[in-house]
Amino acid sequence: MALLKSPTEFDGFISFCAPLQSLNGRVLQRVAMVRRGLEQFWNFLEFGDRVVDKMKALAGRDEPLAVPPTHAVLGTPMLGPWPAGYKVAVFANGCFWGSEKGIWRLPGGGIYTTAVGYCGGFTKNPRYDEVCSGRTGHTEGVQVVYDPKKISFVDILRWFWEAHDPTQGMGQGHDRGTQYRSGFYWFDDEQKELVERSARAYQEELTRAGINRKITTEMKPASDFDQLFYYAEEYHQQYLAKPGSRPYCSAQPLLIPLPLFDQWAPPALWHHAPKLTKSFWDEHAPTPHCVVRAENEPIVWAPSQVQRAPPPLNPLAPLTPLTP
């Protein structure tokens, strides 16, 4: 191993091990894990904690990667156009295999479809090996298409914050490099305000819990990029639901809940009130390796109490808090 100078020199070793697959089906997976670790190491030596400069990023290609027509679990389309009134959210919180599964499992039929891909960088239609090289500027991300009548953007936000450690800088758990940085990217002003206000609220909650590290999540508008999200290879889509997949998730949940919505959201945003109530989070809040152990199908859950919308504002009366 000491003689290997770059990830490409490792490809010959992978080919050498290929015949062993008939003896042990996990051999190539193990080899791929070693190669991934070496790529992260070389990436760190060259770039450290810096995202590659746009002028030095790989150019990429015009041809997008092939995407399966339907979601392997939800059975819905993987490509738009999306139904009228549906919204899109894009975020990154570690290895995208587990990030995607956690979101597609949210209950109530509000998650229309999900996809993994590369976001927040510069290279057009990058490949996985290019993203791992650190030369694209992208991070592994998830695109979520959701019905706001059935699930709130705030529900997705809460899962995002609680499903990883947003203070880990350029990496998550054992996965290190700019391609594993935490990020959330908004498409309109209300998403922007909800992302930023929830980040401040979560930072305060972490501090109260004795975690004296700053949130390092990248928070930017989608308009900052020529194209925010590029679909990843077909084999990455809904990876953890596929037979023979490696049960891996690098996320490091801190087991600290986001404060209640009405504690950090102004009245002007109360129409985004969460639809997943306290009973859901008491039973299904993210824990380490929870998505690896979980079933592939969406969570079956019925609210024990209805989350009511805030009443109309009366300037002469005190604000009525939301039901948690």
Question: How is the chain split into domains, by residue range?
Answer: 10-15+24-293
Helix H or strand E segment including 40: helix 27-47
Out of 3.30.1060.10, 3.40.50.700, 3.20.20.140, 3.40.640.10, select the CATH number for domain 10-15+24-293.
Answer: 3.30.1060.10
Q: 281: Cβ–Cβ under 8 A, 6 or more apart, which residues?
A: 158, 257
64-79 tens-digit pLDDT: 999 999 999 999 999 9
- How far apart (Å, rounded) are the C-alpha atoms in residues 40 and 36? 6
CA angle 311, 313, 315 (to 5 degrees): 145
87-92 β-sheet, strand order: 218-221, 183-186, 87-92, 139-146, 111-119, 229-231
114-156 tens-digit pLDDT: 999 999 999 999 999 999 999 999 999 999 999 999 999 999 9
Whole-number percent of the chain with pLDDT over 90: 77
Which one is catalytic: 95, 119, 132, 249?
Answer: 95
Q: Which among 242, 257, 261, 191 has a CA at the least distance from the CA of 220?
A: 191
**In which band, very low, low, confident or very high, does the pLDDT at 308 lie, cut at 50, 70 and 90?**
very low
- Could you confirm whether 290 is annotated as catalytic? no
Report whether pLDDT(285) > 90: yes
CB 170 within 8 A of CB 137: no
Place of tokens 């880990």: 168
Whole-prediction pTM: 0.82
Average pLDDT over residues 11-17: 43
